[in-house]
């Protein structure tokens, strides 16, 4: 189908390149058959649910109340935060991982067409992710007598285009400031911070003693500020519910920003691609002796190598920053609320769950995404010994993050903190063990695309760490 | 002690169809042996079975008398494998990579550090010893991988297309390195498509086709088998691997 669409445009034109990008995007998303089937089943369930809601609302008018406008603005702000993170990761993949830029930029094709097609590719990926969550509900409601809801599609596309422009722009600016060597790591850290930005802001805004979700905090703040009374503040809400002028303004603005981004960043994009191929390591040899690298034991050797690879991986930086952004505020909530609200059990549960996730990811990186499995196989060592060492390395790297929440619990119960540390280690170990036993080898770069490992492994890990988390929470709750 | 560095006895391997059929090869120690054959002949599969990367369906393989099935770790301890795609970690420096490989082969740190420095200097990698491999050219990566293969002083060194993608100077230094290993008493087995390399470098040449050893011997012996004493190895190779006319 994409081949047919490409033939409708002159070769090398923007439209031709755009459909090429869409084709590549679809093929890169192709997963194994089991994951695909589960995805289709979930989507079908969403659609059925959406059709039921749409049918149920067919004769019910949907008035555009101020609460709905505030809700739409809240949703747009939250979505833009996640979309920009996705766009930054997409822009980094485009610059540093996609192997086709040398070909495209050496072909007699305008650079701006290549850049705009790549931007559309990034936006398309974002639209696909969010469309799966929103459109199964919005489209059936629109089809059953509420055509204004088609405006959700326009809002979604506008936000995705805007996020793609911001994501690429930020990536290029950071690459220029940080230089080619640090660009990837700085980009991943910024993407992580952006992903958790809404959470951080909501926690800062939440000055009350009672706990409130981040959505509720932002919703109340927006409602109280009266921002949606202004013309631009109410724009997303009016567009989402079908106001044609608002739709035109949102889409028009997004397209204008898209074109301006293409013009502004054309030169930086080319230099970013050129820098991506440069030497990324410092080239000065250390004056210290070479002996410092050598370890007497197998454990020491493998542990050191895994630590070096994990610490130097920009994607790990993203994972770690994202979790720190979420855990930092929780730590302060725990410390602040200790006298009034016993939230120790919740923190204990989260601690075990987060440790499981982290160690699972790190173990996957160390074991399944091993760069040179053949070297390990031809070496005169038992594979099980290597795997054990890799699991311990993953746990050691996750440890500094995993102790954050137990520190908060100490203020409520020292024994509770000790139990949490014990179960956090157990949860991490269990997640790593599951990854060792059930994980499947994949490419390292898939970590941030959440395509790593098998879905079965992730579900089993989720189940086991969930159970351990509940047990921990229960014990901490009943402790004196 | 045995004079045989590598003995492949009656080894077979099938994937969708038979790739190796009752292969018998015996390579004496202390020589450079070139394994030639057309694409898909089974060269790489044979070598991967030797180093334990691909399990054989039947037969026996022994390295310096050590059965690779009975004592895989013992066989691996004296063998090095260098595939055409270097087995490197882009995020490690050459020094760190060599330290990792030395650790896997359990070489004492002091001895390994000394040997690493010697190899890095010899392969002209000393100046970049603390630079991550991710920015290296293919030739430099190949040299780092070669240093990794040599750091544990293997008695049997197996290289799959070691000269692919190398420039003339780099190819020359790799060839010199291989010859030096043989002179030092090791056995080197290489597969190559560059027949000139085999012609100039190898002590003995084996020609494999359709999963079987079609011919083996010195260059002079292969020429004689092909029916002419003054033909090039290329001519002999084509004649020996071409289907016989009916």
CA distance A320 to chain B (A): 19
| Domain end position, chosen among B137, B153, B169 | B153
CB A448 within 8 A of CB A318: yes
Residues of chain B with confidence (pLDDT) below 50: 1, 246
Cβ within 8 Å of residue B236, ≥6 positions away: B222, B223, B225, B226, B228
* Residues in chain A closer than 8 A to B116 (CB atoms): 290, 294
Pair B181, B188: CB distance under 8 Å: yes
Nearest to A119 by CA among A276, A293, A260, A274: A260
* Helix (H), strand (E) at residue A470: helix A455-478
Picking from B104, B112, B129, the nearest residue to A285 by CB comes out as: B129
User: Residues of A with CB below 8 A from B88's CB?
Assistant: 371-372
- d(Cα A221, Cα A395) in Å, to the nearest integer? 40
Interchain contact A289–B (C-beta under 8 A): yes
CB contact under 8 A, B134 and A282: no
Q: B232 and B177 in one domain?
A: yes
| Co-location of B170 and B74 in the same domain | yes
Contact A379 B105 (CB under 8 A): yes
How many Å from the N-terminal Cα to the C-terminal Cα in chain B?
46
Q: Which of B134, B153, B172 is the last residue of a domain?
A: B153
B103 and B148 housed in the same domain? yes
Shared-domain flag, residues B47 and B167: yes
pLDDT score at A296: 87
Residues B45 and B160 in one domain: yes
Distances (CA, A) of A126 to A165, A167, A268, B170, B188: 12, 11, 23, 46, 53
Kindly provide the ipTM of the predicted complex, given to two decimals.
0.81
Other Cβ atoms closer than 10 A to A383:
12
Domain of B192, CATH number, reads: 3.40.50.300
Residues 341-400 of A with CB under 8 A from B: 371-372, 374-382
- If asked whether residues B56 and B163 sit together in one domain, one would say yes
Three-class DSSP category at B8: strand
One domain, residues B216 and B228? yes
Residue B132 to residue A374, Cβ atoms within 8 A: no
Whether residue B101 and residue A374 make contact (CB cut-off 8 A), yes or no, is no
What domain count does chain B have? 2
B103 in contact with chain A, both atoms CB, cutoff 8 A: yes
A274/B contact by beta carbon, under 8 A? no
Q: Do B98 and A293 touch (CB under 8 A)?
A: yes
**Conformation bin of residue B217: beta by default, left when phi > 0, alpha when psi is -120 to 50:** left
pTM of the complete model beyond 0.95: no
- B140 and B196 in a single domain? The answer is no
Residues in chain A with pLDDT < 50?
A: none
Same domain for B196 and B245? Answer: yes
Interchain pair A285, B131: CB under 8 A = yes
* B96, closest residue in chain A (CA to CA): A293
Same domain, B147 and B215: no
Instruction: Say whether A382 and B73 touch across the interface (CB within 8 A).
Output: yes
| pLDDT at A328 (0 to 100) | 66
Which residues of B, range 135-174, sit inside 8 Å of A by Cβ?
135, 148
Pair B237, B36: CB distance under 8 Å: yes
Could you say which of B83, B100, B104 has the minimum Cβ distance to residue A374? B83
Q: What pLDDT is attached to residue A281?
A: 56
CB contact under 8 A, B104 and A312: no
Scanning B202-221 for CB atoms below 8 A from A yields none
- Give the pLDDT score at B199: 83
Look at A294 and B103 and tell me if their CB atoms are within 8 Å: yes
Residues B2 and B108 in one domain: no
Q: Of B102, B118, B153, which marks where a domain is finished?
A: B153
Q: How many CB pairs under 8 A join A and B?
A: 119
Closest CA to B191 of B54, B36, B20, B11: B36
Q: Tell me how far apart the alpha carbons of residues A332 and A247 are, in angstroms, rounded to a whole number.
A: 41
Across the interface, of B89, B103, B131, the residue whose CB is closest to A283 is B131
Give the residue from B109, B117, B127 with the most A CB atoms within 10 Å of its CB, the best one to mutate: B109
B71 and B101 assigned to the same domain: no
Residue B140: domain span: 86-153
């Amino acid at each position: 189908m994409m081949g047919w669409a490409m033939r409708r445009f002159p070769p090398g034109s923007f439209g031709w390149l755009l459909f090429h990008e869409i084709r590549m995007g679809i093929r890169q998303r192709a997963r194994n058959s089991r994951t695909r089937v589960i995805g289709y089943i979930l989507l079908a369930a969403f659609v059925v649910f959406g059709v039921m809601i749409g049918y149920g609302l067919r004769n019910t008018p949907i008035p555009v109340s101020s609460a709905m406008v505030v809700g739409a603005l809240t949703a747009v702000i939250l979505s833009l935060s996640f979309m920009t993170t996705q766009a930054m990761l997409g822009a980094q993949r485009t610059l540093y991982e996609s192997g086709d830029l040398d070909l495209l930029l050496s072909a007699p094709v305008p650079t701006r067409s290549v850049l705009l097609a790549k931007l559309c590719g990034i936006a398309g990926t974002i639209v696909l992710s969010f469309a799966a969550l929103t459109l199964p509900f919005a489209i059936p409601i629109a089809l059953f007598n509420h055509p204004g809801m088609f405006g959700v599609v326009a809002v979604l596309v506008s936000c995705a285009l805007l996020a793609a422009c911001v994501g690429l722009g930020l990536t290029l600016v950071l690459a220029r400031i940080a230089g080619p060597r640090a660009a990837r790591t700085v980009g991943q850290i910024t993407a992580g911070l952006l992903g958790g930005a809404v959470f951080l802001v909501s926690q800062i805004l939440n000055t009350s003693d009672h706990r409130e979700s981040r959505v509720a905090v932002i919703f109340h703040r927006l409602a109280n500020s009266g921002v949606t009374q202004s013309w631009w503040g109410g724009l997303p809400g009016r567009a989402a519910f079908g106001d044609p002028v608002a739709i035109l303004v949102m889409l028009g603005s997004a397209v204008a920003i898209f074109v301006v981004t293409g013009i502004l960043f054309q030169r930086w994009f080319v230099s970013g691609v050129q820098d991506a191929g440069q030497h990324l390591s410092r080239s000065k040899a250390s004056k210290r002796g070479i002996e410092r690298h050598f370890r007497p034991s197998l454990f020491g050797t493998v542990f050191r190598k895994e630590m070096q690879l994990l610490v130097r991986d920009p994607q790990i930086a993203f994972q770690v920053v994202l979790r720190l952004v979420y855990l930092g505020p929780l730590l302060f909530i725990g410390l602040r609320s200790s006298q009034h609200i016993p939230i120790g059990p919740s923190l204990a549960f989260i601690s075990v769950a987060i440790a499981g996730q982290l160690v699972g990811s790190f173990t996957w990186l160390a074991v399944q995404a091993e760069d040179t499995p053949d070297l390990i196989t031809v070496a005169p060592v038992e594979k099980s010994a290597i795997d054990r060492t890799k699991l311990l390395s993953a746990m050691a790297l996750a440890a500094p993050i995993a102790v954050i929440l137990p520190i908060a619990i100490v203020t409520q119960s020292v024994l509770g903190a000790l139990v949490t540390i014990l179960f956090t280690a157990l949860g991490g170990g269990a997640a790593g063990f599951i990854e060792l036993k059930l994980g499947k080898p994949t490419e390292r770069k898939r970590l941030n695309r959440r395509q790593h490992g098998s879905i079965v492994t992730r579900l089993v890990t989720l189940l086991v760490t969930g159970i351990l988390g509940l047990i921990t929470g229960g014990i901490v709750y009943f402790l004196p | 002690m045995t004079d045989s560095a590598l003995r492949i006895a009656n080894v077979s391997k099938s994937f969708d169809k038979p790739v190796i059929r009752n292969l018998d090869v015996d390579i004496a120690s202390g020589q450079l042996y070139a394994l030639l054959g057309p694409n898909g002949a089974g060269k790489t599969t044979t070598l991967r079975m030797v180093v334990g990367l691909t399990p054989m369906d039947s037969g026996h393989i022994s390295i310096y008398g050590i059965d690779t099935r009975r004592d895989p770790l013992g066989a691996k301890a004296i063998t090095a494998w260098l595939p055409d795609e270097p087995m490197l970690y882009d995020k490690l420096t050459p020094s760190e990579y060599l330290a990792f490989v030395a650790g896997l082969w359990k070489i004492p740190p002091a001895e390994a550090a000394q040997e690493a420095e010697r190899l890095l200097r010899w392969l002209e990698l000393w100046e970049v010893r603390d630079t991550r491999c991710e920015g290296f050219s293919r030739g430099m990566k190949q040299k780092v991988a070669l240093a990794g293969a040599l750091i544990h002083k293997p008695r049997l060194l197996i290289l799959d297309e070691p000269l692919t993608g190398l420039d003339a100077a780099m190819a020359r230094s790799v060839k010199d390195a291989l010859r030096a290993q043989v002179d030092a008493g090791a056995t080197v087995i290489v597969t190559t498509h560059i027949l000139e390399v085999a012609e100039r470098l190898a002590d003995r040449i084996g020609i494999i086709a359709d999963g079987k050893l079609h011919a083996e011997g010195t260059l002079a012996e292969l020429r004689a088998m092909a029916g002419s004493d003054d033909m090039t190895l290329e001519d002999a190779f084509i004649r020996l691997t071409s289907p016989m006319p009916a």
